[in-house]
Amino acid sequence: MHFGVSYFGVRNPLHCQRDIEAIARLGFSSIIFTFSEEDHRFYQGTLVACVRYAHEQGLQAYIDPWGVCGVFGGEAFSERGAWDLAGQQQRSDGRPLPLLCPNSAEVRTYLQRWITTVAEVLHADAIFWDEPHFSLPFGATQQQGLWSCCCVRCQAQFRHLYGTAFPTTETPEVRQCKQEALLQLIQDATAMAAGHGLRNIVCILPEHEDLEGLQRKCARFAANPHLDILATDPYPLWHRREVATTQVFCEALLQACQRHHKHAQMWIQGFRVPAGQESLLGDEMRLMAQCGIHDIAIWSYLATGYMSSHTCADAPRVWEVFTQTMLELRGGALG
C-alpha cells in the first residue's frame, strides 16, 4: 500500500522541514505540494527546499497546479485569469470570467512556463493535475442557469464537432464538447511534462449522478499515453452519500486503469468533516483497499486543521483515524 498527503499554506522552510520529517515518520510515500501562480512568482526557492527535504526523507514529491489559470482545483486565485483578457472564459450571459479557457493558447503558454519551472527548478518527480474543470457555477449563478464557456474558441470547437449552431443552454453535447477540451488540454500539458522527464497524475472530478459518464470519463483520461496514475476523489461525506457508494468509483477507476496499464489512486476527504463522522473515513479506506486500490491519499496534512475555512469539526481525530487506518492496512498488506 502507498499513502500520500497534500501539503500547503506553510512557506517557511524551517517549518516545512519539520512537517516533512513528521510525514515521512508516519509512513507516507508521497507528498503533494501545491504550487500556485503566487508560488511560481514568489516561492520557487522555498519549494526547491521542500522538494529536497521530501527526497531526503525518501518521499516522492508531486507538484499541484493549485488554482492555476482557474482551470485546476484549489482555493488559490489566478492572476493569469485576471490579466490574459484574450484567453478568458465567457459566461452564457456574455460576461468574461477571470479564468482562462481550456481551449485557449494563453493557458498553454502559461502552463509551459510553469511545467519548465517544476522540472528544471524544483526537480520534482511528478505533476498532480488536480481536477481540471471549466468554471463551476454555484449559488445564485447556478440557480440562474448561467454556464461557461461560450467564448469564440468554444463556439468554433462546437461547430467543428457537431456541425450545428452553438446552443444557448448547456446541453449534453455542450458538456461533451467541454470534456473534449479538458482532455485535449491535459493531453497537451502531460506531453509537455513527460518531455521534461516528469511523471503525470491526473485527478478527475468524479461524475456523481451518471455511472456511464463516470466510466467513460475514466476510460478517456486513462487512455492518455503520457499518464502514469489516474486518481479521483468521491468524498461521500461532502456529497452526503453513504460511504459504500465509493465502491462504484473504485471499480470504474480500476477498470480503466487496468485496461490502459496505469496505476490508480483514490483520495480521502480530510477537510470539513462533520463531528461524529470521523470513523467513516477509516471505513472508506478499508473499502478502497478491499476494492484493490493500493494508493490512498488525504487532502490535507493534519486534516487541514490550519485552514480555518476548511478545517474539520475535530481535525486531530480525523488525522488520527487516517494514520491509524494506514498502519492497519499496511499490516494487512504485509501479513
Binding site for Zn ion (CB under 5 A): 101, 103, 149, 151, 153-154
Alpha carbons 58 and 73: distance in angstroms, whole number:
27
How many beta carbons lie within 10 A of that of residue 46, not counting itself? Answer: 16
Least distance to Zn ion from the beta carbon of 279, Å?
44
Nearer to Zn ion by C-beta: 132 or 236? 132
Place of cell 476510460: 219
Q: What is the DSSP string of 288-325?
A: HHHHT--EEEEESGGGGTT-TTT--TTHHHHHHHHHHH
Grid coordinates given for 54? 521530501
Q: Which is nearer to Zn ion, 112 or 155 (CB)?
A: 155
Give the containing element (helix H, strand E) for 334.
helix 315-334
CB of 110 to Zn ion, least distance (A): 16
Per the CB < 8 A criterion, the answer to whether 4 and 28 are in contact is: yes
- In the chain, the largest separation of any two C-alpha atoms, in whole Å, equals 61
Angle at CA of residue 229, ends 29 and 282, nearest 5°:
55
Q: Closer CB to Zn ion, residue 151 or residue 230? A: 151
Please give the helix or strand (H or E) that residue 52 lies within, else none.
Answer: helix 44-56
We find the least distance from the C-beta atom of residue 89 to Zn ion, in angstroms, to be 5
Nearer to Zn ion, 86 or 211 (CB): 86
* 98 or 307: CB nearest Zn ion: 98
Report the residue number, 9 or 96, with the smaller CB distance to Zn ion. 96
Smallest gap from residue 78 Cβ to Zn ion (A): 15
Q: Which residues lie closer than 8 Å to 313 by C-beta, 6 or more apart?
A: 273, 274, 275, 276
CB of 69 to Zn ion, least distance (A): 12
CA 76, 80, 84 angle in degrees (round to 5)?
155
What is the nearest approach in angstroms of Zn ion to the Cβ of residue 133?
13
